[in-house]
Structure 1
Amino acid sequence: MVAFFYLLMCILGTVFPYWAFLPWFFENGLNIHLLLTEASPAIAAFAWLDVVISALVLLVFIWVDGKRNKMSMLWLPTLGTLVVGVSLGLPLFLLMREWQMSSSER
């Protein structure tokens, strides 16, 4: 049951952030300057810093806990974190960890 939840969160964690980002991207293209300019208010900076720090912590957790549990394919949640964000990387890692733990119990 928990594996299903993690899988569902992988899907939602990919769809919702891109659902919010893609309309802006299609209108403005890959305009990094505009993206950073629109993120200049203090509240936006707070949100960006929160996301960046959370992603860094997650990347360390993926590799430390993944190695400790002898997991393979750690590049997959790492890539998910870097390309989509924590909203995909975390549930994907937890799903893979759940599968690893389930296969170890057998």
Structure 2
Amino acid sequence: MDRVYVFLAFIGFVIPYSVFISWMLNHGLDFSLLWQSIMDEPISLFAWLDVLIAAVAVLVYTFHQRANYSNIQIKCIAFGTCLVGVSFSLPLLLYFNEINQKI
């Protein structure tokens, strides 16, 4: 199962970033346009809020269970959540759970 989690983390990094990089190439670092795009449609706001709440849940769970993870694992999950997103950090968290149970 650990290979599945690594694959999902990889996909969770590549797919969202490919969309984000495409948007950045078209619009640059226009944060006001990004914010406007988020707020324009209720479905966009729903998706962003859903991901934000999931990210908070991943971080809270990780820090609550920090005794089960090494410091580097905690940092990878935290930075992965903040810099990439839940699509990357949740499979990474599950991977760390899997390998830590084998030890």
Partner of 1:79: 79
1:65, distance to aligned residue in structure 2 (A)? 2.1
Partner of 2:45: 45
Note the alpha carbon deviations across 1:52-98, whole angstroms, 9 max, x for none.
1110011101111232x2x1020111100101100111111111121
Divergent runs of 4+, >2 A? none
Matches within 5 A, 1:12-91: 12-40=11-39, 41-67=41-67, 69=68, 71-72=69-70, 73=72, 74-91=74-91
**Structure 1 unmatched ranges of 5 or more:** none
Give the aligned length: 100
Tell me the TM-score normalized by structure 2. Answer: 0.91
The letter of the residue matching 1:31 is D
Going by fraction, where is helix more abundant, 1 or 2?
2
Q: Secondary structure at the match of 1:30?
A: coil
What is the alpha-carbon distance in structure 2 between the residues aligned to residue 102 and residue 85 of structure 1? 26
Tell me the TM-score normalized by structure 1. Answer: 0.89
What is the alpha-carbon distance in structure 2 between the residues aligned to residue 42 and residue 7 of structure 1? 33
The letter of the residue matching 2:96 is M
Whose RCO is larger (CA < 8 A, sep 6+)? 2
**Structure 2 unmatched ranges of 5 or more:** none
